[in-house]
Amino acid sequence: MTLSPSSLIPFTTTCVYSGTFIPYYPAMQKTARRSRPAARLPGRPREFDMDTALDRAVRVFRERGYHATSIGDLTAAMRLATGSIYKAFRDKHAVFLAAFERYTALRQQQTRSAAARGANGREQIRNVLLSYVEHSRGIEGRRGCLVVGSAVELSALDPVVGARVSTQLASNESFIAGLIRAGQADGSIPRHVLADDTARLMLCITQGMRVVGKARLPLDAERLVGAAMKLLA
Amino acid sequence: MTLSPSSLIPFTTTCVYSGTFIPYYPAMQKTARRSRPAARLPGRPREFDMDTALDRAVRVFRERGYHATSIGDLTAAMRLATGSIYKAFRDKHAVFLAAFERYTALRQQQTRSAAARGANGREQIRNVLLSYVEHSRGIEGRRGCLVVGSAVELSALDPVVGARVSTQLASNESFIAGLIRAGQADGSIPRHVLADDTARLMLCITQGMRVVGKARLPLDAERLVGAAMKLLA
DNA sequence: CAGAATAGGGAATGACCATTCCCTATACCT
DNA sequence: AGGTATAGGGAATGGTCATTCCCTATTCTG
């Protein structure tokens, strides 16, 4: 699969992934929306755990990006044979999208639970920022963020991934905006703070930390967040 | 040229580009450090303009990244035949490095000249931030930043590019730190502002804007920079 | 136990890509 | 004009990659 040749404007790409995304999964098992225990599907049951396999795919895609990851890299990381991958996913692109979903679901969970540990809006934002620094630092930071990676490597070439990335960023931003407004309601953040502008700026800060962390510059959580909290003054 | 397979830690890559970087350029012409007019080098002179060709390469690499850019994409963009590219550069990697240098030189120039239009440290920083937003917005923003792209796509896989990226980010950061200190000296920025911490945070902001802009979220210069200037309060 | 349906695994396939080869063209020098 | 040195350009090459094929294995149904 090749995504298309050069020039960006006019965007004359003959892109395969233009239409609505259909989550394929040939004979998807275990994701049944039925009541538990899930009614057995016909045929031999899948032997590997989908989430475990996707976690491994996530790791490779985070480290190598989309284009530098070969099916061979995926078979090694996911511990599946070529045929098995193509039995479970339409193609490499589908593996990537599934990995992306898995990644964002886990990250969203981590961010929300960091926020939940704060007593008021202000502390919740501080915790979210601290959590971002921790994920952008050291080994974890070097591994990279799949959203940032997709934004940079694929947004302009692949409309499907581009849409997912935008959705994810918008969701992150509005989560922060919500925390700011909550803080204004509970009195921990002054009324004169512009929630939307500040949230967008904080989105830039968090995504920027992932870039800086990937480039191995050291990030100090207390110092960085300490400075950033001025935005809520 | 393939950069290496999977796992990041331990980083067992057999990377070709580990050693010191030698700027190759087989029979580099015109970059002669001699006095003008440059003494003619032996053989047929190069017909194309190196900077023009590199600007075109920069554009492709910004839009498509390193791995998704084929030699065919480069020949089309640079308007050179395959053989001519390999006559002028060792390989694709060398084209990329030359393009990277060209890009960072131009960007540095643009940023410094934006700063120069400010009357004091505070206004210089405002101008730098405004300039970053303008470059991260719209068509230019969608085209992306080669430094951010390299950080995300190559830093972990390619030590040579990784080092260049880190150097560039560090240079951007210390430029900002310098402006903060200048502002404190000229009285436009309070003494209690922590120059280094604030500069690092502003580095995150600028790099984050490139990510957000690449994902096509709209960026409003006045609103974003208005919020960011609180960091200098 | 036969049949249907799907998973596991690995070899085969066809396309594409980075790089090299080689022939031609153009400069300078004597 | 002949020699040397390099550039221009495009065809040939060898390797890699995504994808398909096909054979085997395992489950459920009747």
CA distance A203 to A173: 6
**Residue A110: C-alpha distances to residues A132, A141, A222, B64 (Å):** 10, 15, 19, 31
Q: Please tell me which of the candidates B6, B226, B233 has its beta carbon nearest to residue A73.
A: B6
Q: Which nucleotide is nearest to A73 (CA to C1')?
A: D17
Please tell me which residue lies nearest to nucleotide D21, judged from CA to C1': A83
Contact at CB, A155 and B216, closer than 8 angstroms: yes
Q: Quick one: pLDDT at residue B66?
A: 98
Answer whether A157 sits within 8 Å of B64, measured CB to CB.
yes
- All residues of chain A having their beta carbon less than 8 Å from the beta carbon of residue B148 are 152, 211
**Residue B123's CB: how many other CB atoms inside 10 A?**
16
At residue B40, the pLDDT reads: 78
The whole-number mean pLDDT for each consecutive block of 10 residues of chain B, a chain of 233 residues, reads: 36 33 47 51 94 98 98 98 98 98 98 98 98 98 98 98 98 98 98 98 98 98 98 98
Residue nearest to nucleotide C17 (CA to C1'): B70
Q: Which amino acid is at B152?
A: V
Q: Is strand D within 7 Å of residue B44 (CB)? A: yes
Distance between CA A3 and CA A154 in Å, rounded?
9
User: Which residue shows structure tokens 């440059």?
Assistant: B38
On the CB side of B178, how many CA atoms lie within 13 Å of its CA?
10
Angle at B107 between CA B149 and CA B124, to 5 degrees: 120
Residue from the list A152, A156, A226 with its beta carbon closest to the beta carbon of B152: A152
Which residue in chain A has the smallest CA separation from B161? A215
d(CA B211, CA B166): 17
C strand bases under 7 Å from protein CB: 4-12, 16-22, 25-29
Closest-CA distance, B151 to chain A, in angstroms, reads 6
Which CATH code for domain A100-232? 1.10.357.10
The full set of domain ranges for chain B reads 100-232
Q: What is the pLDDT of residue B41?
A: 86
- Chain B nearest-CA distance from A40, in A, is 35
**pLDDT at position B26, please?**
54
What residue has its CA nearest to the C1' of C5? A43
Write down the pTM of the prediction. 0.89
A176 touches chain B (CB under 8 A): no
- Asked if strand C comes closer than 7 Å to B158 Cβ, the answer is no
The pLDDT profile of chain A, 233 residues, written as one tens digit per residue, is 333 433 333 332 333 343 333 445 555 454 444 344 556 788 999 999 999 999 999 999 999 999 999 999 999 999 999 999 999 999 999 999 999 999 999 999 999 999 999 999 999 999 999 999 999 999 999 999 999 999 999 999 999 999 999 999 999 999 999 999 999 999 999 999 999 999 999 999 999 999 999 999 999 999 999 999 999 99
Spanning CA of A190 to C1' of D12, the rounded length in angstroms is 71
Angle between helices B71-78 and B50-64 in degrees, nearest 10? 130
- DSSP states along chain B: -----S--SS-----TT-S------TT--S---SPSSPPPPSSSPP-S-HHHHHHHHHHHHHHHTTTT--HHHHHHHHT--HHHHHHHSSSHHHHHHHHHHHHHHHHHHHHHHHHHT-SSHHHHHHHHHHHHHHHHSHHHHHH--HHHHHHHHTTTT-HHHHHHHHHHHHHHHHHHHHHHHHHHHHTSS-TTS-HHHHHHHHHHHHHHHHHHHHTT----HHHHHHHHGGGG-
Q: Is the CB of A137 under 7 A from strand D?
A: no
Instruction: Centre a 10 Å sphere on the Cβ of residue B102 and count the other Cβ atoms it contains.
Output: 18
Question: Whole-number Å distance, CA B154 to C1' D19?
Answer: 27
What integer pLDDT is reported at residue A40 of this predicted model? 77
